[in-house]
Structure 1
Amino acid sequence: MRATFEKVLVCESKNEPARVLLSLATGSRKTVIAANLLWRLHEAGRLGKPALFLCDRDELREQAYEKLSKAFPKGSVRIVKAEKGRNLAKNAKVHIATYQTLGLDGEAQDEASFLTNYYPENAFSVIIIDECHRSAWGRWSEVLKRNPDAIHIGLTATQRQLREGKKQTAADAEIKANNLKYFGEPVYEYTLIQAQEDGYLAACEIVRLQPSIDLKIYTCAEVTAAKPIDARTGKAIAEEEIKDQYTADRYDHGLILPERIAAMCADLFKRLCEHGGPEQKVIIFCNRDLHADRVQIQMQNLYVQWCKDKGITAKEHYAFKCTAEGGSERIETFRGSGERCFIACTVDLLATGVDIERLNAVVFFRYLESSITFYQMVGRGTRIHEETQKYKFWLYDYTGVTALFGTDFITKPHKPRKDKSGGGDGDDDDDGKHRPPLPELMNGEKVSIIPQGRFILQRREGRDVPIPLDEYRQEMISRVLREAATLHDFRGLWVETEKRRKLINHLLGEHYSPDTVRELMDMADCDHFDLFAHFGYREKALKRVEREDAFLEQQIPWFASMDDKAAIVVRGIGQQFGVGGTDALESSELWNVPEIRRVGGFDALRTLGKPAEVMREAKVRLFGV
Structure 2
Amino acid sequence: MDKRQQSETDMETKYIIPALHKAGWDVMTQVFQQFPLTAGKVHVRGQVSSRGKPQRADFALFYKPNIPLAIIEAKKNTKSIGAGQDQGRAYAQMLDVPFVFTSNGDGFIFHDKTNLEQPNTELTLDQFPTPSVLWEKLCRWKDYQPDQQALLGQDYYDDGSGKAPRYYQMQAINKTIEAIAQGKNRVLLVMATGTGKTFTAFQIIWRLWKAGRKQRILFLADRNILVDQTKNNDFRPFGTTMTKIEDRKVETHYEVYLSLYQAITGNDEAKKIYKQFLPNFFDLIVIDECHRGSAAEDSAWREILDYFSGATHLGLTATPKETTTVSNSYYFGEPIYTYSLKQGIDDGFLAPYKVVRIDFDLDKEGWTPKSGEKDKYGKVIEARTFNQRDFDRSLVVEKRTQAVARIITQHLKATNRMDKTIVFCADVDHANRMKLALENLNGDKVAEDERYIMQITGDNAEGKAQLSYFIDSGSPYPVIATTSELMSTGVDAKTCKLIVLDQRIESMTKFKQVIGRGTRIDEDYGKTWFTIIDFKGATQNFKDDAFDGEPVRVYTPSGEDDGTLDPDETDLDDTDPTPPDDNDNGTVVDPKPPQPRVKYYIEGESVEVVLERTQYYGKDGLVTESIRDYTRQAVSKHYRNLDAFLKHWNAAERKRAIIAELQAHGVIWDELENKVGKELDAFDLICHVVYDQPPLTRRDRALQVKKRDVFTRYGEQAAKVLAALLDKYVEQGVESLEAIEALQQEPIKQLGTPRQIMQAFGGRAKYDEALQVLEQQLYAST
Normalised to the residue count of structure 2, the TM-score between the two structures is 0.58
- Corresponding residue of 2:427: 288
- Corresponding residue of 1:202: 351
Q: Indicate whether 1:130 and 2:288 are aligned.
A: yes
Calculate the aligned-residue CA RMSD, in Å: 4.7
**Aligned-partner Cα distance in 2 for 1:53–1:124:** 10
> Alpha-carbon deviations, 1:535-591, whole Å to 9, x = none?
53687999xxxxxxxxxx99955999xxxxxxxxx99983699xxxxxxxxxxxxxx
**Aligned-partner Cα distance in 1 for 2:243–2:260:** 12
- Corresponding residue of 1:190: 339
- Once the two structures are TM-superposed, the CA of residue 396 in structure 1 deviates from its matched residue by 0.4
Q: Indicate whether 1:157 and 2:296 are aligned.
A: no
- Once the two structures are TM-superposed, the CA of residue 287 in structure 1 deviates from its matched residue by 0.9
- Corresponding residue of 2:233: 67
Contact 2:425 2:501 survives alignment (8 Å): yes
In the alignment, which of 266, 271, 274 is matched to residue 115 of structure 1?
Answer: 274
**Aligned-partner Cα distance in 2 for 1:555–1:252:** 70
**Aligned-partner Cα distance in 2 for 1:178–1:522:** 51
- Once the two structures are TM-superposed, the CA of residue 238 in structure 1 deviates from its matched residue by 3.1
**Aligned-partner Cα distance in 2 for 1:622–1:183:** 67
Moved more, 29-38 or 184-193: 184-193
> Alpha-carbon deviations, 1:347-379, whole Å to 9, x = none?
111112222222120001111111111111111
Q: Indicate whether 1:80 and 2:242 are aligned.
A: no
- Once the two structures are TM-superposed, the CA of residue 267 in structure 1 deviates from its matched residue by 1.9
- Corresponding residue of 1:24: 191
Residues 401 and 60 (structure 1), Cα distance of their counterparts in 2 relative to 1, 3 Å cut? same
Q: Indicate whether 1:50 and 2:216 are aligned.
A: yes
> Alpha-carbon deviations, 1:242-298, whole Å to 9, x = none?
26331112111110001111122112211221122x332211111122211221111
Contact 1:209 1:453 survives alignment (8 Å): yes
In the alignment, which of 385, 393, 401 is matched to residue 253 of structure 1?
Answer: 393
Contact 1:55 1:129 survives alignment (8 Å): yes
SS of corresponding position for 2:231: helix
- Corresponding residue of 2:439: 300
- Corresponding residue of 2:68: none
Q: Which ranges in structure 1 are unaligned for 5 or more consecutive residues?
A: 165-176, 543-552, 561-569, 578-595, 597-605
**Aligned-partner Cα distance in 2 for 1:362–1:530:** 37
Contact 2:642 2:691 survives alignment (8 Å): no
Aligned residue type for 1:185: E
Residues 100 and 6 (structure 1), Cα distance of their counterparts in 2 relative to 1, 3 Å cut? same
- Once the two structures are TM-superposed, the CA of residue 519 in structure 1 deviates from its matched residue by 9.4
**Aligned-partner Cα distance in 2 for 1:130–1:63:** 12
In the alignment, which of 431, 446, 455 is matched to residue 321 of structure 1?
Answer: 455
Q: Indicate whether 1:466 and 2:622 are aligned.
A: yes
Residues 340 and 412 (structure 1), Cα distance of their counterparts in 2 relative to 1, 3 Å cut? closer
In the alignment, which of 503, 512, 516 is matched to residue 366 of structure 1?
Answer: 503
Moved more, 328-337 or 54-63: 328-337
Residues 318 and 557 (structure 1), Cα distance of their counterparts in 2 relative to 1, 3 Å cut? same
Moved more, 208-217 or 411-420: 411-420
- Corresponding residue of 1:38: 205
- Corresponding residue of 1:237: 379
In the alignment, which of 436, 441, 457 is matched to residue 617 of structure 2?
Answer: 457
Residues 259 and 412 (structure 1), Cα distance of their counterparts in 2 relative to 1, 3 Å cut? closer
- Once the two structures are TM-superposed, the CA of residue 11 in structure 1 deviates from its matched residue by 4.5
Identical amino acids, percent of aligned pairs? 24
SS of corresponding position for 2:314: strand
Contact 1:205 1:520 survives alignment (8 Å): no
> Alpha-carbon deviations, 1:142-179, whole Å to 9, x = none?
34333444332221111211213xxxxxxxxxxxx422
- Once the two structures are TM-superposed, the CA of residue 77 in structure 1 deviates from its matched residue by 1.9
**Aligned-partner Cα distance in 2 for 1:227–1:541:** 65
Q: Indicate whether 1:335 and 2:475 are aligned.
A: no
Residues 532 and 238 (structure 1), Cα distance of their counterparts in 2 relative to 1, 3 Å cut? same
**Aligned-partner Cα distance in 1 for 2:778–2:284:** 56
- Corresponding residue of 1:587: none
Contact 2:284 2:312 survives alignment (8 Å): yes
Q: Indicate whether 1:437 and 2:589 are aligned.
A: no
**Aligned-partner Cα distance in 1 for 2:647–2:429:** 60
Residues 360 and 413 (structure 1), Cα distance of their counterparts in 2 relative to 1, 3 Å cut? closer
User: Which residues in structure 2 correspond to 1:589-600 (within 5 Å)?
Assistant: none
> Alpha-carbon deviations, 1:407-447, whole Å to 9, x = none?
43574575999857627799xx9966x855311122x3321
Residues 126 and 406 (structure 1), Cα distance of their counterparts in 2 relative to 1, 3 Å cut? farther
**Aligned-partner Cα distance in 2 for 1:554–1:322:** 67
> Alpha-carbon deviations, 1:280-333, whole Å to 9, x = none?
2211111122211221111111112x67xxxx9643332221212212122233
SS of corresponding position for 2:212: coil
Aligned residue type for 2:435: Q
Moved more, 470-479 or 5-14: 5-14
- Corresponding residue of 1:480: 638
**Aligned-partner Cα distance in 2 for 1:80–1:521:** 56
- Corresponding residue of 2:263: 101
In the alignment, which of 458, 468, 484 is matched to residue 347 of structure 1?
Answer: 484
- Corresponding residue of 2:410: 270
Aligned residue type for 1:315: D
User: Which residues in structure 2 correspond to 1:521-560 (within 5 Å)?
Assistant: 535-536=689-690, 556-557=721-722
**Aligned-partner Cα distance in 1 for 2:637–2:179:** 44
Moved more, 119-128 or 373-382: 119-128
**Aligned-partner Cα distance in 2 for 1:493–1:533:** 16
**Aligned-partner Cα distance in 2 for 1:294–1:186:** 42
- Larger RCO of the pair (alpha carbons < 8 Å, separation 6+): 1
Contact 1:124 1:147 survives alignment (8 Å): yes
Residues 618 and 576 (structure 1), Cα distance of their counterparts in 2 relative to 1, 3 Å cut? farther
- Once the two structures are TM-superposed, the CA of residue 26 in structure 1 deviates from its matched residue by 0.9
Residues 258 and 120 (structure 1), Cα distance of their counterparts in 2 relative to 1, 3 Å cut? same
Contact 1:8 1:19 survives alignment (8 Å): no
- Corresponding residue of 1:218: 367
User: Which residues in structure 2 correspond to 1:491-506 (within 5 Å)?
Assistant: 491=649
In the alignment, which of 370, 374, 384 is matched to residue 227 of structure 1?
Answer: 374
Aligned residue type for 2:509: I
**Aligned-partner Cα distance in 1 for 2:418–2:634:** 34
**Aligned-partner Cα distance in 1 for 2:291–2:778:** 50
Residues 522 and 340 (structure 1), Cα distance of their counterparts in 2 relative to 1, 3 Å cut? farther
> Alpha-carbon deviations, 1:1-35, whole Å to 9, x = none?
55446545665676x53332222111112111111
Contact 2:176 2:204 survives alignment (8 Å): no
Aligned residue type for 2:458: A
Q: Which has the larger radius of gyration?
A: 2
- Once the two structures are TM-superposed, the CA of residue 458 in structure 1 deviates from its matched residue by 3.6
SS of corresponding position for 1:208: strand
Aligned residue type for 1:40: R
Alignment size in residue pairs: 526
Contact 1:24 1:191 survives alignment (8 Å): yes
SS of corresponding position for 2:355: strand
Q: Which ranges in structure 2 are unaligned for 5 or more consecutive residues?
A: 1-168, 553-565, 699-717, 726-734, 743-753, 755-762
Contact 1:255 1:438 survives alignment (8 Å): yes
Residues 4 and 334 (structure 1), Cα distance of their counterparts in 2 relative to 1, 3 Å cut? closer
Contact 2:291 2:317 survives alignment (8 Å): yes
